[in-house]
């Protein structure tokens, strides 16, 4: 990733200009058209005079070429930025009367006008600025398709559109844009730059390395998603957790202890298994990342050990958790027993019915399992009860979230602890095949195994990434859990992300044969990756998952979890070249009785229909 230019736009005060220059900004933008950040020539001259080693740009809309030239000369502008469709004649007039370089802003809907883009490319402008139109609904972002289309014009591209520290780094890593442009993303009020936000943004872009995962800023925003929508009583606890995670993530002793426990207690690294018979059926290598072989039978332990170590160093004595399929609950109970901590696990009574073996395992490990009978009696309701417990006991207890959901810093924390899956897979795939995989597939409920698996591949755009959502009885049935495919942005459990909700914003009931995917929302990082088009999320029905479950049992001698069966089903219907890498997130012992009961029910239903 080459050095990217940073433009701080909407500057209205010399003090902000001087700070942006000191922090390393390349261009400062001043707005001369209608805007809450508008400046006049006198203000602009004062701002320009206050800095020495940074370029100045002026933003114009519907202004005559000669007037722009006069302003550029008076205010020392190196660039003029035009925010309306321009003609070839207008650009010619502007070049004739001003030496300033020209940036032309375009919006995604203009990218289909090939003649316009060809004219801009031939006119000799400095660059395009790809921006979002005003008044976009929540969750709107530029997409990689938009950015690629703009880049294909041949004109150097800068990107804007409500950027923050996370989205700026992510989109730069995934594109050939030469720079970023930010205004509101470093403000609390229009035109007044916030020093900490300005520093955070510039530092994030400057320190971004190729392939290094971006992290959200202090507000927890992952593009437009994420954040921390929590009661005031939890704010200090979250801030303390965020500071501790930031500190210990870079602490050598903490990382060494975590690595030791993952190796000696959890059993890492897990194999990358070449499924020979499935490969023959698919006509391409099928590689299974065997997270089912982690101690406790699923990927959940990776994150539990990391968070529990963190909690213990923060002085917590109790772990609180929610669980759906029971694998996370078992992993938390296992970790608590190993570390000598107390443990309370909330589990929906419907999930208890489906996952009896895991209930008994948690109790054997010393956890107190509290049934939840409210709502749909599944994972969403268990999560709500666990949060209530945490609100009441946050001084002594750590809420150990099992998926990449919840308020900041949980989504990033879970991602980083689960990234061991993808990091190992990347290395093993290269060892086994000498190359990257062609396609990587993982199941997505809240999204922990998927974000961990995808993490090192996100910046590798040659690798196709697929997330399997729970299609239940089918997308048209209303009985599914496909939050990304059929939901819209909203707030659930402390975070803004995609979720299934009715017209009044009420969370809708969901269904999946898999208790671990039976959740109406999804993590905010998955929401961002979906919105920009980096990951394709597709529905897999209960019936398809069952077929994949049986297929793996009979062809490879592996009994997968129903969650993993969704990923396998999606992988097997996917065409492409190169190795097909599937995250086998857990083993299916817990699901056998539920599978048999569901099959009997389906057979009876098919018989009645016939």
Q: What torsion, rounded to 10 degrees, do the Cα atoms 19, 25, 31, 36 define?
A: -50
* Residue 322 falls in the annotated catalytic set: yes
* E strands in 136-227: 157-159, 179-182, 187-189, 192-193, 221-222, 225-226
* Residues sharing a CB contact under 8 Å with residue 27, sequence separation 6 or more, in sequence order: 5, 6, 7, 8, 54, 55, 56, 57, 78, 79, 179
Distant-in-sequence, close-in-space partners of 607: CB < 8 Å, separation ≥ 6: none
Q: Spell out the residues 6+ positions from residue 292 whose beta carbon is closer than 8 angstroms to its own.
A: 298, 558, 560, 561, 564, 584, 585, 586, 587, 588
Catalytic residue among 469, 564, 585, 590: 585
Q: Please choose, from the candidates 374, 401, 46, 22, the residue with its C-alpha nearest in 3D space to the C-alpha of residue 30.
A: 46
R_g of the chain computed on alpha carbons: 26
- Percent composition of the chain: helix, strand, coil (DSSP 3-state, to 5): 45, 20, 35
State yes or no: is 300 an active-site residue: yes
Residues 540, 549: Cα–Cα separation, whole Å: 12
User: 416: closest CA among 303, 255, 298?
Assistant: 303
Q: Catalytic site residue 200?
A: no
Residue with tokens 């660039």: 79
Beta strands across the sheet bearing 397-399? 368-372, 342-348, 318-323, 397-399
User: What single-letter DSSP state applies at residue 270?
Assistant: P
Please check whether residue 172 is in contact with residue 202, taking contact to mean a CB–CB distance below 8 angstroms. Answer: no
User: Does residue 202 contact residue 20 with C-beta atoms inside 8 Å?
Assistant: yes
**Catalytic pick from 322, 424, 525, 563?**
322
Q: Which of 7, 300, 380, 590 is catalytic?
A: 300
Catalytic residue IDs: 300, 322, 585
């Amino acid at each position: 990733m080459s050095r990217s230019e940073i433009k701080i736009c909407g500057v209205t005060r010399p003090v902000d200009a001087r700070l942006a220059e000191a922090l390393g900004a390349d261009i400062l933008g001043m707005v001369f058209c209608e805007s809450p950040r508008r400046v006049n020539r006198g203000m602009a001259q004062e701002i320009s005079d206050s800095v020495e080693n940074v370029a100045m740009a002026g933003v114009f809309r519907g202004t005559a070429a000669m007037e722009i030239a006069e302003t550029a000369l008076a205010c020392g502008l190196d660039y003029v930025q035009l925010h309306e469709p321009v003609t070839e004649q207008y650009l010619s007039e502007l070049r004739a009367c001003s030496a300033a370089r020209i940036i032309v802003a375009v919006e995604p809907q203009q990218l289909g006008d090939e003649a316009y883009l060809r004219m801009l490319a031939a006119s000799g402008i400095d660059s395009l600025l790809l921006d979002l139109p005003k008044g976009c609904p929540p969750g709107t972002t530029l997409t990689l398709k938009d950015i690629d289309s703009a880049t294909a014009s041949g004109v150097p591209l800068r990107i804007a559109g409500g950027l923050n520290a996370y989205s700026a780094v992510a989109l730069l890593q995934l594109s050939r844009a030469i720079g970023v442009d930010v205004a509101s993303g470093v403000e609390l009020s229009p035109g007044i730059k916030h020093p900490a936000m300005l520093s955070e943004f510039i530092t994030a872009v400057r320190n971004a390395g190729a392939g290094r995962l971006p992290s959200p800023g202090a507000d927890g925003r992952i593009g437009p998603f994420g954040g921390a929508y929590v009661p005031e009583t939890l704010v200090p606890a979250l801030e303390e957790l965020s500071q501790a995670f930031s500190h210990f993530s870079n602490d050598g002793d903490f990382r060494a202890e975590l690595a030791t426990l993952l190796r000696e207690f959890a059993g890492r690294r897990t194999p990358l298994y070449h499924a020979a018979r499935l490969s023959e059926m698919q006509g391409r290598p099928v590689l299974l990342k065997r997270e089912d072989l982690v101690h406790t039978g699923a990927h959940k332990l990776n994150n539990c050990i990391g968070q529990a170590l963190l909690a213990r160093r923060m002085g917590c004595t109790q772990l609180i958790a929610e669980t759906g399929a029971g694998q996370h609950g078992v992993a938390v109970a296992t970790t608590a027993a190993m570390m000598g901590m107390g443990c309370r696990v909330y589990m929906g009574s419907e999930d208890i019915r489906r996952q009896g073996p895991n209930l008994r395992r948690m109790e054997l490990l010393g956890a107190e399992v509290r049934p939840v009978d409210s709502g749909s009696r599944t994972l969403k309701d268990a999560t709500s009860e666990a949060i209530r417990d945490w609100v009441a006991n946050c001084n002594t207890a750590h809420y150990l979230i099992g998926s990449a959901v919840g308020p900041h810093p949980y989504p990033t924390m879970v991602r980083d602890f689960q990234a061991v899956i993808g990091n190992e897979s990347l290395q093993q795939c290269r060892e086994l095949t000498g190359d990257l995989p062609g396609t990587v597939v993982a199941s997505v409920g809240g999204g922990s195994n998927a974000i961990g698996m995808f993490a090192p591949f996100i910046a590798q755009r040659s690798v196709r990434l697929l997330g399997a959502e729970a299609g239940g009885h089918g997308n048209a049935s209303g009985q599914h859990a496909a939050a990304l495919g059929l939901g819209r942005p909203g707030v659930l459990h402390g975070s803004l992300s995609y979720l299934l909700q009715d017209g009044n914003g009420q969370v809708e009931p969901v269904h999946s044969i898999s208790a671990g995917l039976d959740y109406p929302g999804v993590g905010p990082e998955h929401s961002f990756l979906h919105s920009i088009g980096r990951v394709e999320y597709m529905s897999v029905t209960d019936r398809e998952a069952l077929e994949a479950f049986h297929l793996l049992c009979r062809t490879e001698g592996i009994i997968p979890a129903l969650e993993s069966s969704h990923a396998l089903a999606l992988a097997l219907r996917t065409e492409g070249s190169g190795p097909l890498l599937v995250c086998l997130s857990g083993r299916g012992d817990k699901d056998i009785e539920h599978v048999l009961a569901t099959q009997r029910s389906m057979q009876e239903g098919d018989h009645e229909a016939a």
